[in-house]
Structure 1
Amino acid sequence: MRWARMVGALTSDHRVTFDGVVRVTDGPATVRYRWRLDGRTVDDGSVRVRRSERLRHVLRPTASGSGTMTLEIWGPNRDADRVRYRVTCASAAPVAGVESVRVEPAGHNGPCPEGENGYYWLTARATIKVSAATTVAYRWNWSTPGHFDAPAETFSGPGEREVSHRFGVTATPGAVTNARVWVEISSPNTARSAEVPYSITCT
């Protein structure tokens, strides 16, 4: 057997395969064997061998680690071969997404207060989710058109967070705004939310 090494993002499909060859000089013969991982028996059995027979054991790692796998032939004639192995699990790249975009209020038809600087003010909200620790760069977009580059959000681990942005539309009588708002993520990956409509009519 030879040194085994695996590096990468660990999934349920990953495995370390150990192969060994059993040979007999005066066959056929029934050979008893066992696989031992760091001194602990993880598989055993017997095999009928004419001249040589390949044996295999599959290890499905669940975390980074290293150790020794030994194939032992036991009975009247004893023999063994061993190999070192190492598994290094790389962290999967963080993924960010955005959902639950909404505008408050989403609709208004009636008198609009002058508000600040002649605008009727609304608040857009959304939920950003991440799979691991990361910093998310994103912006708000409007179909009117326009956009706002929001301050980046830093996450210390997987989770979600509500973000919001206050914006204004013209509040003078007769002003009508029919538009849509959405969020675009530019880092650590690209993602785009659904477009959410809102309608403001000032009378």
Structure 2
Amino acid sequence: MAAGLLATPAAAASGSTTQAGKVASSSSATPRPAVSVSKTKASPSSSDECPTRVTFSSRIKVKAYGGKTTVAYRWLRGNGSKSAVKTFVVKGKGVKYVTAKESSTFKGGDTKGWQALQVLAPRKVTSAKGYFKVSCGDDEWDGDKEVVNTGTVGAQAWVDERNCEATLIGRITTSGTRWVRYQWVVNGRVVDRDAVRVYGSRKVYHVIRPHESLRGWAALQILSPGDASSNRAYFKIWCRDSSPKVSASVDAPSNYEGDCPVTRTFTGTISASHGRGEVKYRWIRDGVAGGWQSVYFDGRGYGHQSRSVSDSWSASASGTSRRSIEIYGGPTSGTVEGKVTCKAAPPASKAWIQTETISVNQTGTCPTSSVSGTGSVYATGPIKVTVTWHVNDKKVASEELVFTSAGTKSVSFNSTSDGKAGTARFGIDGGGSDTVSYKALDCAEATDKAADKTGA
């Protein structure tokens, strides 16, 4: 896996054009080189020793007509696999010979098969097959017969390789009848554990399906009774299509109705069939592509892996938003939609003075008297206001009123006076005011009444 795990090079394309009305003459074209190959030879073709290195060879004959001639070839194998394509270049004209070789080492078991050389360019031609056979150990067993014993329990292993899978075959031997606990180890990692009842000898199996080409070794280990391990059985699994499959999906948040602004979150899942490495992706938001981001797969195990990602949407008004995920060099997920409905904000609470409740009165004797008054404020809902009383433009009282709901609150004041007429103003800071007048005291009348009381 690399950035854009599914991205592969674009297929090469070729073509030619000619001027209208003109046809290229075949007689003037340079003929393609002639190619032939000899029968593939396996050396040694038969062996009873292990390990054995078998070399396959075939001679390629090219009849060139000048310039440079590129020859491309590959090896075909009896198990269905093919080698990578290799090339070489011959220069000039005339007959040229090149011998192609490939070697394989067989470390255990009974193996037989064939290989052939296939030339792909400049002409396609395949050699006759070269057959081989490697036999190691007692023919009673299928594979490497090395048995490791600890006490009375033994184990051995070999591999049956197929297209993109391999069957691990083990044989457990005991002296008598008993239960045996065992495990399979592949490339140093335990992949399976089990227990079986063995009557002298019994085969056990484990299938490797890695989804991608894999090579390494396997061993059968006895856990109890005793402690034993088989030989290492080497394998090479070839898969026709080993590239991981990457996909993405997106889930939308549930529809929302309530106060705004609000943040909603889209969640995505990026999945890989197998393998490890970095995968690049980006969010498509309402049709607009965002920046590339990355997730990493560690490749643990043989199967499916997934990673979760998320993307936020901040909505300050009613509306919808759409999301999808694009994989770099790969597919784009389906598009999902989230919806937000913003509730209208309640009207702001207000407060005002109830004019009809304002009353002001001056009382007392001359020259000492007082002015007092009361007034009410009404509010439509929760609100906090400051109210003041002014007498003859001089502040004489101030109070903060806190309303938790709709209702009325009264405010009173009392202030000294000189007995003269004047005005009193009741107001809400920043919210208006009302002014009322009050009368002067009759100081002469008040003085006569005081004198009459003294003369009496």
Task: Give me the TM-score of the superposition, normalised by structure 1.
Answer: 0.49
